[in-house]
Structure 1
Amino acid sequence: MYKRIQNQANFHSSWDVIKQSFLGPKQWMFWVVMALSLVNWGIEARKWQVLVAPVQHITLWKAFKAVLSGLALSLFVPNRVGEYVGRILYMDEGNRLRSIALTLIGSVSQLIVTLVAGIGGLIYLRSYVLTEGRQLQGLSAFWFDGMLYAIIVGTVLLLLVYYKLSRITSIIERIPFVSKYSFFIQKVETFHWKELTNVLMLSVVRFVVFTAQYLLLMQVFEVHIGIIDGWWIICVMFLVLAIVPTIPIAELGVRGQASLQLFGLLSTNTIGIIATAAGIWGINLILPSLAGSLFILSIKLFRK
């Protein structure tokens, strides 16, 4: 009985803290975070619009609807595979399968940015945060360094593949049992290194936007961590989310645990850390997915 009363008291106390954060002088930051969510997915829409241009010209608004529809379909699928299905619904017949390879380029570019930023975050943690009194639970210095080197090697290889896509595609097309399906990947060959760099830069801007969202929401919930420390820890957290396979609808548990492990190194505000993780998950994933589900309902899957 005592534990039950104590848990209820803790719940009400936590709720009061969150409510005060929303009603406090920093509440404007919350609305900025909401606005940045539109910017975030708008950049992703622009990136997809650029990628599918060799196959089909689409408007930015149509690309935006496609991105949100893909997000809605990916909620219950591991690693957001459903995003590809949702997006190709907005392509014309005959272009849908060809657009999948182009969409994959966008995902690879975002992964590269996440990995590079995550490497910087890991190096920063190793150099300035992890001390004798601060260690990540269950991860020794040996395994930490081993993981860092493995990620660096993997990122370099991925970058090489990214900038050699046209050559790799032309080689793949020569394989006998693949050649008859080369129609689906031919447009990948048209991407010049400058275009690939532009896509990569859009991914960088998008990464900066949702990192800024996290920093702002941390301020709303009184998680007092320096901007530089917070920035690099967020980079590591996004790296973890990129590496660990999850279903988006269940991602909150992984996101919350990673946040507690990482931000807990510098802050004791557990409630604020969890609230920030849940807030970002809801604002950047759940709300856009709800909007995307409405767009899906308006699609005519079969015109004939």
Structure 2
Amino acid sequence: MNNGLLTIGELKLQVSVLWTHSAWMFLLLLLLTDLNWLFEIIKWQNLASVEKKITFFEAYEQCFASLTASMITPNRIGEYGAKALFYKGPNRKNIMGLNLLGNLSQLVATSFFGVVGLVFFLTNFKVQTPKITIQYSLILIIIIVLVILFIRNDNFKKAKLFLRQISKKTYFLTLVLAVFRYLVFTHQFYFLIILFELNVDYFTAMYLIFSTYFIASVLPSLTIFDWVIKGSVAIFVFGFVEVNELTIVTITTFMYLLNFVIPAIIGSIFVFNYKPISNK
């Protein structure tokens, strides 16, 4: 709001320049979006089949419909309930556990590469780290207490017994697909950096992208405002290599449109045509 560069007019200018620069590049960006979601769909088909064998199209429908349903929920928590609605009552708890496993695998990939990127970021740039205050300490203590209570809950113990029955092959494939998906959308971000002709070398750009996604992943937000969070973090991170703020906002907006808005529009078709499944 306080930056004169970040206006709708300037954003439209950036988009028009990019389009006239190379129209076929947009097709490549869309293909990367397809590849990103292809890995997610296969990952969910692999996980859901532990409880009930499903086809690729069924996994496709469930992934996109649950994305649409989760857009207005904090940190996409609505996705758990949305996917469970595609199954009968007795299967729903296990389906929610499998969805949690899929999201945790993505978090593992984000955290692994994010820590690598953050180490590079902190060692190569003078970053003012936040001071540990009483408020931060209290929040940390509350989180630890809640985690302990959750672990001691009977439902968690039952879920843990169920997850132990899953084969190592399924766990391995889930993690591999999560890593592939992560590398696809982070390189999609890098590809946009190339298109906008930013003067940042590959390794530095990737470390900064890893840091951006890692920092953004720990911030609570609604999926519908995901671009705001990632855009703000990206402006902060890429500011250390003196990248134009408007360009970074444009890139994060494109990433949001490609990987969330377009799939959510597709998912809305499945949401509107959803037929409730009997619990029996």
Short-chain TM bin:
0.7 to 0.9
2: distance between equivalents of 1:206 and 1:10?
Answer: 32
Could you say which structure has the greater relative contact order, defined with CA pairs below 8 angstroms and 6 or more residues apart?
2
In the TM superposition, what whole-angstrom CA distance separates every residue of 1:257-288 from its partner, at most 9, and x where no partner exists? 11111112113322211100110011111111
Deviation at 1:248, TM superposition (A): 0.8
The one of 129, 143, 151 equivalent to 1:139 is 129
Match of 2:258 in 1: 283
Contact 1:256 1:277 in 2 (8 A): yes
Which letter does structure 1 place at the counterpart of 2:119?
I
The correspondence for 1:46, drawn from 34, 37, 42, is 42
In 1, the alpha carbon distance for the partners of 2:14 and 2:169 equals 49
Partner of 2:74: 78
- 4+ residue stretches of structure 1 with deviation over 3 A? 7-14, 179-182, 184-187
Is 1:236–2:211 an aligned residue pair? yes
Q: 1:17 to 1:48 in 2, by over 3 A?
A: closer
Distance 1:180 1:280, change over 3 A: closer
SS in structure 2 of the partner of residue 255 of structure 1: helix
Per the TM alignment, residue 17 of structure 1 is displaced from its structure 2 partner at its CA by 3.2
Question: Over aligned residues, Cα RMSD in angstroms?
Answer: 2.7
Residues 16-25 or 186-195, more deviating: 186-195
Supply the distance in 1 between the matched residues of 2:129 and 2:277 (Cα, whole angstroms).
52
**Identity between Structure 1 and Structure 2 (%):** 24
Q: Distance in 1 between matches of 2:226 and 2:101?
A: 23
> Which residue identity is paired with 2:171?
L
Structure 1 gap ranges (5+):
1-6, 144-171
Structure number with larger C-alpha Rg:
1
**Paired position in structure 1 for 2:13:** 16
- DSSP-derived class of the 1:78 partner: coil
Say whether the 8 Å CA contact 1:89–1:301 is kept in structure 2.
yes
Gaps of 5+ in 2: 133-150
Contact 2:71 2:223 in 1 (8 A): yes
Partner of 1:147: none
Give the count of matched residue pairs: 259
Q: Secondary structure at the match of 1:228?
A: helix
| Structure 1 equivalent of residue 101 of structure 2 | 105
Per-residue CA deviations over 1:39-94 (Å, capped at 9, x if unaligned) read: 11121111111112121000111101101111111111001001112212222443
Determine if the alignment matches structure 1 residue 215 to structure 2 residue 212.
Answer: no
| Distance across 2 between alignment mates of 1:8 and 1:230 | 22
The answer to whether the Cα contact below 8 Å between 1:62 and 1:90 also exists between their aligned partners in 2 is no
Asked whether the 8 Å contact 2:70–2:79 carries over to 1, the reply is yes
Matched position secondary structure for 1:246: coil
Structure 2: distance between partners of 1:180 and 1:24: 53
Q: What do residues 11-40 of structure 1 show as CA deviations (whole Å, max 9, x unaligned)? A: 545532331111103x33322111111211
Distance change in 2, residues 1:9/1:292 (3 Å)? closer
Name which of structure 1's ranges 232-241 and 186-195 shifts more when overlaid on structure 2. Answer: 186-195
For residue 223 of structure 1, report the CA deviation from its aligned partner: 2.7
The corresponding residue for 2:245 is 270
How does the TM-score come out when normalised to structure 2?
0.83
**1:256 match:** 231
Query: Is residue 47–residue 106 contact of structure 1 (8 Å, CA) maintained in 2?
Result: yes
Q: Distance in 2 between matches of 1:123 and 1:65?
A: 39
